[in-house]
Structure 1
Amino acid sequence: MKKTTIRPAVCSIMALALGGSLLAGCGGNSGAEEPTAGSPSPAGAAASPQTSVKASDKPLSLSVHLMFDGNVFNESWAVFKRAAELTNVSLKATLPKTVTDRKEAFNMMMASGEISDIVMSTKANMDKFGQEGAFVPLNDLIDKHAPNIKAFLAKRPDVRSVGTAADGKMYFLPFAPDGEAASGWFIRQDWLDKLGLSSPKTVDDYYKVLKEFKEKDPNGNGQPDEIPFFSRSASGVYELLSLWAADQGYALKDNKIVYGPLEPEYKEGIASVAKWYKEGLIDKEIFTRGTKARDILLGNNTGGSNHDWFASNASFNDTLKDKITGFKFLPIAPPANSKGKIVEPTARAVVKSDGWGISASNKHPVETIKFFDFWYTEEGRRMANFGVEGLTYTMVDGKPKFTDEILQGGQVTQNLYKYGAQIQFSFHQDFEYERQYLNSIADKGISEYINNKYIRQQIPILAYTTEEEKKLGNMEASINTYTSEMGQKWILGAQPLEATYDAYVSKLKTLGIEEVLKIKNEAYQRYLKQ
């Protein structure tokens, strides 16, 4: 690595964040030659579709700062070793395998000035330090030397928009997931059958079903121990708000970003959730039970319904079929809300805020962007998704099929990590990798939600200026904390909603919610224009 000259503002910020002991890395290097951002190496004009995946004529080693989901880049990963054989570019790790804090590791690198050739981080980090001169704008490099990325971005302007900073330049390539449906509504179909009930179609139907679950002993043990609605997340209770067309956070409404707790539907929604909680239809320990709530309540045959991820929810039909006679935990369409609309509020991110970019000290920007481009070829995408043929998958009828080793234990993604596949640096994910380990129940539920267009439009990842980031950071933490505290108090009955709601709205405005919405909507308009 070469020490990169970063503008003084970066050093000042990092000094405040990390303390004076790290300032030495930001000191007097102003005489060093700084690479021209975005200047390609001498390699000709615009690129044509690749006939070779070689990114470098000679073997080239580039340093990489990469950590994802607790996994630090490992030079022995089979996927990247095979990629090196094909592209002539190998990567050298700069993070020790003992690193556990991704945010701290990035901050330490930036404060030291010793920036790796390739850096994987978040959009906020890459945009911020890119505009300070630490990372190379990728626009010209992609246009001239990365035909596969260029073609992909032409088809997916949303990915380009997320990769673009507030100054109009791309400092990183984001990861592009595949698949749309994330979570869905599930219910104990065997309990419905036992009580002679139909699957709920409306919010009123759902309320009546939960009441029956509470009062009619569907698990048949003679005890009033059924918990009609549960969640493994303390925030899961707020997903019920969608039944009243309300939200606990930000949402798109009439092509504008709004804050759910300020919208007229919120008051009715939170009041209704509080009523359900008081009547025992919601787990009394929903704020404290923890992440094992689903395992516990389904495992002991007391949980009736939830809203959670399709794949993991559906898997309980396999793990509990021999333990609970007749166990059926099946997805249902979202109950129509109080306005008569069938809406699923959650969705998978179509673009992630994670990705990688090229440091300003990288002496081989053209070769690096060509290496990035490899992952958008057919072979590169297959490797990033499925691993190495003969090792993690075999080709069957022209499609990759995972080996038994990868499929074992139901930990497919974790098993792939060991080979360097599904590490979300920057490539286009293929949902077929996940479909291989979905059971038929999850697959059917996902298809139903997608085909029936239940999933509403999501707020994209937005780019903010440095000043906007600073303002949001100062205001949003307080707003989110206050909203969460008050929501919990109302649901638990610790505060009367009617008597405190107007003061709550006033307090949100005092905390700056109107300024936050102004900033977000200005950023959203920039996104739409890109």
Structure 2
Amino acid sequence: MLKKHNKAMLLTVAACLSISSLVACASKNTTTGGSASPASTAAAIATTAGPKAELRSLQIWQQEDYNTYPVAKFLEEKTGYKVKYDMLPQDKPQDKLNILIASGESYDVITSLGGTEFKALYADYAKKGALVDLGPLIDKFGPNIKSAVDPDALEAAKVDGKLYAIPTKSIPTASTSLYIRQDWLDKVGMKAPTTLDELVAVLKAFKEKDPGGNGDKNIPLTVRGDSPFIDNIVGAFGMPNFWNNVNGKLTPRILDPAYKDYINFAQDLFKQGLIDKEFAANKDATAKEKFTSGRAGIILMNWSDVPVIADALVKNVPTAKATFLPALKGKDGKIGLSANQGFDRISFIPKASKHPEDAIKWMNAKLEKETFKGMAIGEENKHFTFKDGTYTPIQPIFTDERNRANNFLMGSDDKNYPTYWQARVRKDLRLFEAWKFMNVTEANVRVLDPLGFAPYLPDFSKNFQQLNVMVGDYTTKLIFGAEPLSGLDAFQQKFKASGGDASFKEVNDWYATAKK
């Protein structure tokens, strides 16, 4: 999903200077992995005489206080480490993170989100010497880290050949598609569309036959304003992800030959009144309100929203029923649902840490197999039941005590966590069925993000947000007619000159080696 440009992605000059100063100072008063000489790995991990160091951990934002959340107590009991948790703000966490790193705040572990902009910040910190090289520490104190975390993920987290962070992999899922009023389909006597042509026919019926009882106020399809590339529809043009394989080269959508075909299709929907005429101004809540109030027949939606949206819809329209559409086929059989791949979050140790060895020991202890399982989904027959290979949550205690467990992850048991994780979507049968439809029933049409495990790519990372915002804004203007499609060539040249060419070369230089 296209994200808004965040001007705080890059460090300010002042912050950069402060980071450089921090590194010079930190080297005088912090230890690294090379300072210890344990007799063996087992001895290194074993509890030493005296109390363990109290650690400070900076986490991503969540609604509950980490310090009082049940997982914190569980981890303290299992690892022996007492940890004081702070968290980044919900709004502009990058700004706060930059300040804390530059000022030398002595956190022992910092966990940020793992998207492109945060990977860029992390790599910048590493290059400026503000982070601890974790390689020596993991070699001495991290056998669980080595055995649990996917080696490909560890490799992708390296900067200039050195590992400065423990990545927590995303669960590879298709998340967003088109959610349709089944009762509207029933009223117009049609089945769920499976092709673009069938979709157009359904949208026309929704507009002309008034299945919602709203007269000319029916909205056949509504989307958010920051989603001009409509998931599922754009997959039918062979462009499910931001970058897609075109004749062996990873190519951004704006340079894909299919881009013009997609624009023509979306423009036609808009001209016929089949897509929300106000879509460009829609916030997420606006689009959802139009759907749950009974005015819209189809909405672009994440499967995780199903319970809330379904409840709100039925409250307003008691007879309403809704479901996700299957992946739509375009010409030449093109089809695809975008599926995420890469890092959900990354955890690193700043040079200002007072206890880097203990920090690694703590993260390693969290990845001991049974400790990790208990952290992630709790205790069998208390938080979940296990039958026929399936973990089913026990409510309400699972939600009360493990709903935020994923925010405590610093690396995961990548062989088992995808199975454990399914307990989270079984909290509500509607949630599970929505996830299952898009990721099990439709598994063969999911297309993983090809850049998910790409290493830090300087030009790509520097230009990513700016270029995507540029393309998103331009695409929106094309769809509602504020820009003529005849200007596409000129815009493509602007895109290339603004970092698109440099990104294309860098991405494909890496891709050529990754395919071998």
If the TM-score is normalised by the length of the shorter chain, which range does it land in?
0.7 to 0.9
Q: Structure 2 matches for 1:71-470, cutoff 5 A? A: 74-93=66-85, 95=86, 101-121=92-112, 122-153=118-149, 156-165=150-159, 167-178=160-171, 180-221=173-214, 223-239=215-231, 240-246=233-239, 249-253=242-246, 256-313=249-306, 315-321=308-314, 323-344=316-337, 346-352=338-344, 354-362=345-353, 364-386=355-377, 393-397=382-386, 401-404=393-396, 407=399, 416-417=403-404, 422-428=407-413, 429=417, 430-440=420-430, 442-443=432-433, 446-447=436-437, 449-451=439-441, 452-458=443-449, 459-464=451-456, 468-469=458-459
3-state SS in 2 of match to 1:235 = coil
Q: Deviations over 1:379-401 (max 9, x none)?
A: 322343235789xx534347573
3-state SS in 1 of match to 2:279 = coil
Q: Which residue of 2 aligns with 1:504?
A: 491
Q: Which residue of 1 aligns with 2:478?
A: 490
Q: Do the aligned partners of residues 480 and 295 (structure 1) sit closer, same or farther apart at CA in structure 2, a change above 3 Å counting? A: closer
Give the helix-richer structure, 1 or 2: 2
Q: Distance in 1 between matches of 2:327 and 2:275?
A: 17
Question: What is the aligned-residue identity percentage?
Answer: 23
Contact kept? 1:332, 1:445, Cα under 8 Å? no
Contact kept? 2:310, 2:322, Cα under 8 Å? yes
5+ residue gaps, structure 2: 1-9, 113-117
Contact kept? 1:65, 1:116, Cα under 8 Å? yes
5+ residue gaps, structure 1: 1-12
Q: Structure 2 matches for 1:46-61, cutoff 5 A? A: 46=41, 58-61=50-53
Q: Do the aligned partners of residues 19 and 495 (structure 1) sit closer, same or farther apart at CA in structure 2, a change above 3 Å counting? A: same
Contact kept? 2:393, 2:424, Cα under 8 Å? no
Q: Distance in 2 between matches of 1:14 and 1:441?
A: 39
Q: Distance in 2 between matches of 1:138 and 1:177?
A: 21
Q: Distance in 2 between matches of 1:253 and 1:200?
A: 27
User: For residue 70 of structure 2, what is the amino acid of its counterpart?
Assistant: A
Q: Distance in 2 between matches of 1:199 and 1:349?
A: 29
Q: Do the aligned partners of residues 255 and 138 (structure 1) sit closer, same or farther apart at CA in structure 2, a change above 3 Å counting? A: farther
Q: Deviations over 1:311-363 (max 9, x none)?
A: 3135533443354243111112111122213311x2233432x2212334546
User: For residue 479 of structure 2, what is the amino acid of its counterpart?
Assistant: I
Q: Distance in 1 between matches of 2:397 and 2:237?
A: 45
Shift of 1:262: 0.7
Q: Which residue of 2 aligns with 1:16?
A: 13
Q: Do the aligned partners of residues 313 and 23 (structure 1) sit closer, same or farther apart at CA in structure 2, a change above 3 Å counting? A: closer
Matched, 1:513 2:506: no
Q: Distance in 2 between matches of 1:460 and 1:512?
A: 20
Q: Do the aligned partners of residues 102 and 193 (structure 1) sit closer, same or farther apart at CA in structure 2, a change above 3 Å counting? A: same
Matched, 1:479 2:467: yes
Count of matched residue positions in the alignment of Structure 1 and Structure 2:
491
3-state SS in 1 of match to 2:210 = coil
User: For residue 137 of structure 1, what is the amino acid of its counterpart?
Assistant: D
Q: Do the aligned partners of residues 57 and 202 (structure 1) sit closer, same or farther apart at CA in structure 2, a change above 3 Å counting? A: farther
Q: Distance in 2 between matches of 1:31 and 1:246?
A: 48
Shift of 1:136: 2.3
Provide TM-score, normalisation by structure 2: 0.83
Q: Deviations over 1:407-465 (max 9, x none)?
A: 4xxxx79x834xx6534543345322322223247525524543441101212143336
Q: Distance in 2 between matches of 1:30 and 1:40?
A: 15
Q: Which residue of 1 aligns with 2:6?
A: none
Q: Do the aligned partners of residues 162 and 384 (structure 1) sit closer, same or farther apart at CA in structure 2, a change above 3 Å counting? A: farther
Matched, 1:43 2:44: no
User: For residue 81 of structure 2, what is the amino acid of its counterpart?
Assistant: V
User: For residue 155 of structure 2, what is the amino acid of its counterpart?
Assistant: S
Q: Do the aligned partners of residues 80 and 376 (structure 1) sit closer, same or farther apart at CA in structure 2, a change above 3 Å counting? A: same
Q: Which residue of 2 aligns with 1:5?
A: none
3-state SS in 2 of match to 1:39 = helix
Q: Distance in 2 between matches of 1:58 and 1:514?
A: 58
Q: What's the Cα RMSD here?
A: 3.5
Q: Deviations over 1:178-236 (max 9, x none)?
A: 35231233221111111111211111111111111111111235x12211111234315
Q: Distance in 1 between matches of 2:47 and 2:330?
A: 53
Provide TM-score, normalisation by structure 1: 0.81
Q: Do the aligned partners of residues 71 and 525 (structure 1) sit closer, same or farther apart at CA in structure 2, a change above 3 Å counting? A: farther
Q: Distance in 2 between matches of 1:272 and 1:207?
A: 10
